[in-house]
Amino acid sequence: MTTEAQRLLEAAMKLTDDERSELAVLLADSVSIVDAEVERAWVAEALERLEDIRAGRAKTTPTEVVEERLEAIIASYEAKRAAG
């Protein structure tokens, strides 16, 4: 890591959790590291999963149920975080 990158990291670590999270997303979005082999593997996996769904070999979960579960997980995490 360069001196400049180290200086930026030290400054970033002084930000709030929310600010660091937002910065991390922006930085991650700014780089494009797409390995063609990895991309092909993901496409193959997606196609296999789609075929499993169409053939009735896989069970799907309605979006509403997934959202409810995620909201419960997030609320639990936030409660624990607030408690210390």
pLDDT tens, the chain, 84 aa long: 899 999 999 999 999 999 999 999 899 888 877 778 888 999 999 999 999 999 999 999 999 999 999 999 999 999 999 997
Residue 68 to residue 50: CA distance in whole angstroms: 24
Residue 75: what pLDDT? 95
Domain boundaries, the chain: 1-32
Give whole-number Cα distances, 25 to 18, 21, 62, in Å: 11, 6, 27
| Dihedral sign computed on CA atoms, order 57, 62, 63, 66 | negative
Contact criterion met (CB below 8 Å) for 58 and 52: yes
